Structure 1
Amino acid sequence: MTEETGQTRPLGVSRPDLAVDDLPEPEEVFGVRRIGPKELFKYALGPSLIALGISIGSGEWLLGPQAVGQYGFVGVGWVIVVSAVLQTFYNIECSRYVMATGEAPVVGWGRVPPGYLLWVPLSVFIVIFAFIAGGWAASAGQGVYALVHGEVPPAGAEEPRIWAIALLVLVFLITAGARRISRALELANWVMVGAILVALVLVDLFVVPFSQWWEGIRGFVTPAAPPAGITATQLGALAGFTALASGLNWYVMGHYRDKGYGMGYRVGHISGMRGGRTQMLASGVTFPDDPDNNARWRRWYRLLLTDMWGIFFVGAMLGMLLPTILMARAVEISGKTPTQANVPTFVASALEQEHGRVLFNVALVLGVLILFSTQLGIFEGMVRVTTDAAHATSPRLRALVEGDPRRFYYPFMLVLLVIIAIILHLALPVSLVQWSANMSNLGALFYPFLLIYLNRRLPRAARSRWYHQVILVLNFLFFGFFFVNFIADLVGNPLVTF
């Protein structure tokens, strides 16, 4: 492995050497005397909430409930659990690189042979191609329409799309009004995710019998063959969007840099329009191999594990269990099964039949919150990835924006808003979401191996262990299988039928 020489440390190819500086103490970053339980929740935890806000959305409110509503829990639930476990490990490995170098993953990929000219533009293209379809936005628009009019939208209605565009504008306003964009997203998700989980627990306790709670839990822990009739696209979408976005989860992990985790504190962050101008470094910074820095690294790594397993994983599992058992109850009440066209409002309509208008409105508000939290994270994430990539790799752009990434970030967000507004008119919301989810699985074919390359070359204390690499290969096998099966199904016959 390469070692630092002087004040820099080479890592990979085609990118500048990493500067070398000491890791900060967590107390220095968060401005507190010590990190106790109160400080942990108030200051240190949070980036995983942005990922969780995306997670409790397209997979948990649309794809998982639709699959359970049509096919039941057994044979579907274990796919959810395996996907969530593998993705949490994958997220940790992505964040390991961010903490050790201060570089967002999209920039780090440029250090992998043959270099940034391949991996950086390809990665930006894949993220935008996967998420620009706008199914998450269109589904949120359906929920707002039903909330305003008290009924589900008719097929082909234009107004839900107008509401979807209005919610995109709201995302722009949230980021524009922030001092530090990542912090604004954290606070928004603390409120939304907290309200979503509490409300789902209360509604489920009120309307879902214990037998269906148990059936859902049992389905999660019972390995079984996928149910007959489920398609490769449906199952691949469920695997891809359970927890987050399988092979593309890395596009959200750059928030650990902006939070100041590890060496991210030395690199800078993207400010909102209300924030002061910050100079974000074009290349990363790492730490020397010595006892003091190694001890600080262990502290940061423990914070990362707490954030990922304590908030992201637990929240993702609750976020899938609670809506799916509610959907199972809605199917039982209505005697019908959800379709791609009506799944965003299916639960609300079924609950109205049994429990009246109050629960109809509660379910719609929940759906809008769930899908808007997804919309917030995905839309901002596409802009962030493109901004990070352009700022790090283009000296000409850095000169043009005078070192202020906001001058690229906000105009690009407006351009993307217009493009998504056009695209979301082209297909049903859930079919757009299924497309995005299967595109996410594409990333699992190669990003785990890019991570192995990078993380084996970090300072010794930060390097991944052999079992971390095994888990990354399992990500490749699990999500890669679903993507290959999806492509085979798209062009002819799937490799495996159920």
Structure 2
Amino acid sequence: MTEVTRSHPLGVSRPDLAIADLPEPEEVFGVSRLGTKELFKYAVGPSLIALGISIGSGEWLLGPQAVGQYGFVGVGWVILVSAILQTFYNVECSRYVLATGESPVVGWGRVPPGFALWVPLSAFIIIFAFIAGGWAASAGQGVYALVHGEVAPAGAEEPRLWAIGLLLLVFAITAAARKISRTLELANWGMVGAILVALLLVDLFVVPFEIWWDAIRGFVTPAAPPAGITATQLGGLAGFTALASGLNWYVMGHYRDKGYGMGYRTGFIAGLRGPKSELLDSGVTFPDNPANAGRWRRWYRLLLMDMWGVFFVGAILGMLLPTILMARAVELSGQRPTQANVPTFVASALGDEYGQAMFVGALILGVLILFSTQLGIFEGMVRVVTDAAHATSPRLRVLIEGDPRRFYYPFMFGLLVVIAIVLHLALPISLVQWSANMSNLGALIYPFMLMYLNSKLPRPARPRWWHYVILVLNFLFFGFFFVNFIADFVGDPLVTF
């Protein structure tokens, strides 16, 4: 590591950032040259973890449910706008991580009035938004149908037990890791690749061209929302298209663990099988000079390729392919999905038309989609709280002897128990819609905090003026849906269609 000789003040209530040179990507990834092969083998990764979460609650549940009930026109444009805005937002969150090596939840502690407010509040919002466990309950419904060959009856207990079993599987995967982020990347390489290829093949086999065209046209045609759909339903769709709207930052800390930019200087959370890794409690940034400006441009290009080339393209395909499959299932069955049966609706409709093999295949695909979401969300909640506690509590660092794993794994198990209880409280889709609309809450807060933090980065890393405009658009678009959700929850929605 380059010797630190001075510091860079950023915000309030947190230590100044240490200063060291940015590493070259080749140094981080251990290659002599970062070509196309090395790019996909080593550099692409955090976007896959985000994409694994993305292709799940929004793409397999809320999007198909909305299309199955109301069609593509008036719904598709919400999907496209949400995906574009969220990808820009992801880049801005990750900009801070690359420039400082701090995860976003730690960075929020630098925003006035300071960490005593923003760090615990942010950790609470993430837990509150996702602890409902609808993503896990939906996966449990799919496993039940796969085991028994039929859809679970209303109120059945066994799907919830399967959901809890899948949470234990997430715990086992992280416990078996040497480096948790890398294990999640490899798992999502396999799952996301299999999901998209399988969806494409099934759609090519069963979906007529007319439905493909209706879907593509619906994505790019601005139109009023269809009659009957609520703004709360649209808000859930917008919130969970691509990822989790204003709360996407909870996944972007993986760029630190991947070693992107200054993340290489600050460390990562190791798995149980790996050796202890030092994780700094405060970030490091780079001096403003031509050499580091050139290195920053290289890292920023890698970030853009990872986010736009992998995450955005994958998110659009991940929404298009399941929604046209749902439209075909509605056409075949003559019925529309409900909150109770949407996790298994497609499998049932395709099974009736094409036989048991298609029923089983669609169920396996659905379980894989929902489990990839479950893996990323559950681990992400644990990661956010671990980063927050480790960075802000000297007493905790002494207690765990500087090893974040000693907090990470006990907290993960405790959270598992709590989610297992919450799973019994509502239908899976109701839980997912709650999480999605709570995700929109983040759009009222964090875009402005990002503006504050990123404007104080070293000059080469600062955003251009139009990046701030897009962050304001995130605030307006997703913030509207959250305000409407609260109005609908306590009385009447702001708008009806």
1:19 aligned to 2:18? yes
Give CA-to-partner distance per residue, 1:39-82, whole Å, 9 cap, x none: 00000111000000000000000000000000000000000000
One-letter amino acid matched to 1:93? E
Partner residue of 1:195? 194
* Displacement after TM superposition at 1:244 (Å): 0.1
Give CA-to-partner distance per residue, 1:254-275, whole Å, 9 cap, x none: 0000000000000000000000
Partner residue of 2:338? 339
1:30 aligned to 2:29? yes
One-letter amino acid matched to 2:47? S
Partner residue of 2:440? 441
Write out aligned runs for 1:456-495 (5 A). 456-495=455-494
Cα distance in 2, alignment partners of residues 414 and 471 from structure 1: 38
Partner residue of 1:296? 295
Write out aligned runs for 1:106-125 (5 A). 106-125=105-124
Give CA-to-partner distance per residue, 1:228-274, whole Å, 9 cap, x none: 11012111000000000000000000000000000000000000000
SS in 2 for 1:316: helix
Give CA-to-partner distance per residue, 1:313-353, whole Å, 9 cap, x none: 00000000000000000000000000000000000000011
One-letter amino acid matched to 1:282? D
Cα distance in 2, alignment partners of residues 379 and 352 from structure 1: 31
SS in 2 for 1:272: coil
Cα distance in 2, alignment partners of residues 488 and 225 from structure 1: 21
1:71 aligned to 2:70? yes
Cα distance in 2, alignment partners of residues 197 and 305 from structure 1: 21
Give CA-to-partner distance per residue, 1:151-183, whole Å, 9 cap, x none: 000000000000000000000000000000000
SS in 1 for 2:18: strand
Give CA-to-partner distance per residue, 1:210-235, whole Å, 9 cap, x none: 00000000000000001111012111
Cα distance in 1, alignment partners of residues 269 and 329 from structure 2: 43
Partner residue of 2:6? 7
Cα distance in 2, alignment partners of residues 359 and 35 from structure 1: 42
Partner residue of 2:401? 402
Cα distance in 1, alignment partners of residues 106 and 333 from structure 2: 50
Cα distance in 1, alignment partners of residues 217 and 475 from structure 2: 27
Partner residue of 1:84? 83
Partner residue of 2:153? 154
Write out aligned runs for 1:241-280 (5 A). 241-280=240-279
Partner residue of 1:366? 365
SS in 2 for 1:274: coil
Partner residue of 1:353? 352
Cα distance in 2, alignment partners of residues 75 and 347 from structure 1: 22
Cα distance in 2, alignment partners of residues 372 and 7 from structure 1: 46
Partner residue of 2:221? 222
1:54 aligned to 2:50? no
Q: CA 1:6–1:29 in structure 2 vs 1: closer, same or farther (change >3 Å)?
A: closer
Cα distance in 1, alignment partners of residues 226 and 411 from structure 2: 43
Cα distance in 1, alignment partners of residues 363 and 394 from structure 2: 47
SS in 1 for 2:412: helix
Partner residue of 2:204? 205
Cα distance in 2, alignment partners of residues 34 and 225 from structure 1: 50
SS in 2 for 1:377: helix
Partner residue of 1:391? 390
* Displacement after TM superposition at 1:6 (Å): 5.0
Cα distance in 1, alignment partners of residues 131 and 282 from structure 2: 28
SS in 2 for 1:376: helix
Cα distance in 2, alignment partners of residues 104 and 7 from structure 1: 22
Cα distance in 1, alignment partners of residues 351 and 384 from structure 2: 41
Cα distance in 2, alignment partners of residues 468 and 217 from structure 1: 28
**How high is the TM-score relative to the length of structure 1?**
0.99
Cα distance in 2, alignment partners of residues 166 and 233 from structure 1: 31
Cα distance in 2, alignment partners of residues 35 and 220 from structure 1: 36
Cα distance in 2, alignment partners of residues 106 and 411 from structure 1: 20
* Number of matched pairs: 494
Cα distance in 2, alignment partners of residues 118 and 225 from structure 1: 40
Q: Which runs of 4+ in 1 moved over 6 A?
A: none
Cα distance in 1, alignment partners of residues 113 and 228 from structure 2: 43
SS in 1 for 2:282: coil
Cα distance in 1, alignment partners of residues 206 and 77 from structure 2: 24
One-letter amino acid matched to 1:12? G
Give CA-to-partner distance per residue, 1:8-39, whole Å, 9 cap, x none: 11000000000000000000000000000000
**How high is the TM-score relative to the length of structure 2?**
0.99
1:166 aligned to 2:177? no
SS in 2 for 1:236: helix
* Displacement after TM superposition at 1:496 (Å): 1.0
* Displacement after TM superposition at 1:375 (Å): 0.1
Cα distance in 2, alignment partners of residues 232 and 306 from structure 1: 33
Cα distance in 2, alignment partners of residues 431 and 120 from structure 1: 28
Identity %, equivalent residues: 83
* Displacement after TM superposition at 1:7 (Å): 1.2
Ranges in structure 2 where 5+ consecutive residues have no aligned partner: none
One-letter amino acid matched to 2:429? V
One-letter amino acid matched to 1:33? S
Cα distance in 1, alignment partners of residues 203 and 494 from structure 2: 38
Q: CA RMSD in A?
A: 0.6
Cα distance in 2, alignment partners of residues 78 and 71 from structure 1: 13
SS in 1 for 2:156: coil
Cα distance in 2, alignment partners of residues 7 and 184 from structure 1: 36
* Displacement after TM superposition at 1:397 (Å): 0.2
Give CA-to-partner distance per residue, 1:409-456, whole Å, 9 cap, x none: 000000000000000000000000000000000000010000000000
Cα distance in 2, alignment partners of residues 269 and 341 from structure 1: 40
Partner residue of 2:126? 127
Cα distance in 2, alignment partners of residues 464 and 455 from structure 1: 7
